[in-house]
Structure 1
Amino acid sequence: MLNYFKFFFLGCLTFLLFPPYFILPIGFLVFPYLFYQINYLNLKKSTRSSFVEGFLYGLGLNFLLFFWLKNPFFVDDNTKNLFFLSYLFIIYASLYFGIFFVILRFFKNQNIQIIVFPIIFIILEISRTKLFLSFPWNIFAYILSNQPYLFNVSKYISIYGVSYIAIVILLSPILLINIFNNKEKKFNIYYLLIILSIISTLYFLSNSSEKIDQNKKSYELDIIIYQNNIAQDEKWNSNLMESRLN
């Protein structure tokens, strides 16, 4: 039971990576630890235990991320008794983390594990946001939304690509630890260099695009908003337009 609570607590800690907190250093502790739990300790456990641990991790995260979902139900007296439906979404979103923990059990090689970890994570994130909702609520890209030059690369790799970059960054301490311990050193160095090259390139593109946008000429527009009950001839009367603008 204490082990299950540990994963729920890790999910709660992960919540602090998201707006408005952006406590990114926590992620450099939580994600390497999750990687270790999934790919080492969980191999000794049943598939059911892995699913429950992943589900509880997701429950801790999603309960705090989506706690506000119950509020719209209290706006109207006819719906306030249905607020419990908001918790069904929290359970639904948490199921994907259980699936994630189970899938990673099937990869035995650590080099493959660290590559597929962010890939599977993002595939499931896309599934969660597209399958029934078609809205990207609280995806992991948002933890970088306070870093404009990193977050703005979404114009090149989509918002889910930014999520992938975020997960890869959070897993980077594993590469550094392996290099320091001389474990699969060559692979970890190459993989780290590839990651740094990709992030640097995207950062450069985003930075260059931002400078180009700043150099563009800006124009002022005068906008008039009419009510629907105003006659068309009055709307298009040039004299009346000028008087309203002045």
Structure 2
Amino acid sequence: MASTRPRVELIPIFEDNYVFCLIDHDNQEALVIDPGEASKTSQFLKDNGLKLTGVLLTHHHNDHIGGVRSLVTEHPAPVIAPKKNKTQIGAADTWVAEGERVQLGPFNFEVLELPGHTLGHVAYWEPKLKWLFSGDVLFGLGCGRIFEGTYEQAYESLQRFKKLPMETLIYCTHEYTEANLNFCNMLSNLDNSPITGDSEELEMYANQLHSRREMDLPSVPLKLSVEMRVNPFLLAKSVSQFSYLRDLRNKQ
């Protein structure tokens, strides 16, 4: 019997978070990324007859890890987290750092350390499937706030996205794209903005985004090939340009 391609299910929690459930249909197994809340994720596993094989965490903020203990109490599985957050994530039992690999079922992730939003933030890159689970580093038309790292670190972390294959799908953990579109529109009206994206591409992006959101569909996953042409934070050519944008966005 032919193998079924794995898929990603988005489970909405809170106001704008997503928990990602990666499903291995052939074995009726799943792994979960950033379960900030447990009940909806647990119910999804039960409703679909899925066995939990692991939990991946990108960073230590509670809206990403708050449901871990309850989830693995009900569905025992290993919990993998950034090594640099070892003192901040008590629910984990396996710690990973830059360049290490995580094998769970058919999924084989490479760990990327992407400091800025937090100092220990990691992303999980699945090269065969071209999936990147980026936590709060990059968003649709935006990027994460810098809480612990420096502007330089955040800028360099974004540069690493540009080295990935253009067909990469980016699974970011928040539905912020509409708010970030408003920021992009504001930028385009500034006489002194150093960032000039593709205006036609942005208009097309906006039309597709509004259509999806009107149908209550997520804007995630993002297409890296598109974000590279319209996301101002990826278009920034220097730390100073990035800092200018991030400071402007913080005021909105």
Q: TM-score range by the shorter chain?
A: under 0.3
**Bigger RCO (CA 8 Å, 6+ sep):** 1
- Structure with the higher strand share, 1 or 2: 2
Q: Which has the larger radius of gyration?
A: 1
Using the size of structure 1 for normalisation, the TM-score is 0.26
User: Which structure shows the bigger proportion of residues in helix conformation?
Assistant: 1
